[in-house]
Homo-oligomer: A and B are copies of this chain.
């Protein structure tokens, strides 16, 4: 869906609940409101206190659970669920989470949002010790590390393991008698805690998943935290104290749903504020109106319009019926491609000077098509305003931007980009503007107001291990190829 437009994909969303009847359906509805975080696969594991039950498959949540009997089998009052953006590889059902592992001393399920920066290194070491992997997922590494240390007991083994993996991660574990949640030491990926009317605790990626199941947001899970929920309630613990908040700014800018509240900030409000600051930093003096790129940029666009004192109009329409199975235009009809998803509203933009607000630019192809589409619809001039800074550096924490080669801003200056997309002007919000607009209340003295802005300035909050310049070169050829393939699948 939008990922095809933007070329920017979240890896996943997670949802866990403990102590509620029909935990399967509660999780299903929770995942429903996380569907924007991943449309390629979904799954749920439940427990009735004795056994764990799993159903997962590729596709949208509604496709995965198209057969009601698959839902019926998931009995019990605790569950974890997962939606996944992921590979198109055909057997990638192996990679669809939650994973479920059977051991003679008890079963365990896992769901994960994020990416490890030392996954290759760890996996290599594990394989050298005889480990057999079934998926290409970072997530599986964790269970192998735990099992290598299981003689210590599960919780000590888990804590040790969480100190061995690096990067951005939000993990949920389900055992027959408890739900466990863990967040990386920088809190890069979002994870929050809620409570249902009956007292059952919920842990999930975004607060919008709490709303749909009638749960109240308690607080965000903190960097380095390890929460255990069982029949005795919530046990708050930590696996490390070496933490510093650096939440992914792209969650506010693009990924999260507008109604989610992350670290005290409503996403819609943050976006609207970005739009307002953008209007100040990058005015468009002769414009007649402001339009947004639907749907993720509408908040910022209305903020820009408000601050600029311009009318906010609907100049672009998004077709809500675009499906995976859509027939694509042939070569001869190719130029109508983007129009499958977006249409310009001729009656609105014809003869006008238009400000288009978009939340971000990744590959730049969409921006170019939008400009062209608006001009074909009669716009006199098109001024692109981007409510975030130029996206110049890859993410290694769970956003799927595989390499710098695809990042337009990594290769071109702003004037060059403006020319390439045939816009009449182009302006970006500054890093400082992003920080001010979001204004995380509990950031303390964390750099960049507690945000990860590495995509814009290259200042990563963690070491990069496998992704350090030169590291991958040191692997042998076969492993590099395999790694590459897995990443590209």
A residues with a Cβ closer than 8 A to B are: 1, 21-22, 25-26, 28-29, 32-33, 35-36, 39, 51, 54-56, 60-63, 65-66, 68, 70-71, 73, 90-91, 93, 100-107, 123-124, 127, 129-134, 136, 140, 143-144, 147-148, 150, 208, 211-214, 257-259, 261, 265-269, 272, 295, 298-299, 302, 306, 311-314, 317, 319-327, 329-330, 332-333, 335-336, 339-340, 343-348, 377, 475-476, 478-479, 482, 485-486
Contacts and interface: CB of A to CB of B under 8 A. Distances in A.
Contacts of A261: 346-347
Given A132-B144, A327-B68, A346-B266, A312 B302 contact: yes
Interface centre among A25, A127, A298, A345 (most CB of B within 10 A): A345
B344 A211 contact: yes
B212 A101 contact: no
Contact of A130 (B133, B147, B347): B147
Contacts of A124: 104
Given A60-B323, A266-B345, A127 B104 contact: yes
Given A63-B325, A343-B211, A347-B261, A130 B144 contact: yes
A378 to B, nearest CB: 12
A214 B336 contact: yes
A1 to B, nearest CB: 8
A21 B66 contact: no
Report copies per complex.
4
A384 B213 CA distance: 26
Contacts of A259: 314, 317, 343-348
B134 A211 contact: no
A442 to B, nearest CB: 16
A103 to B, nearest CB: 5
A62 B321 contact: yes
A60 to B, nearest CB: 6
Given A130-B148, A132-B132, A321 B104 contact: no
B70 A90 contact: yes
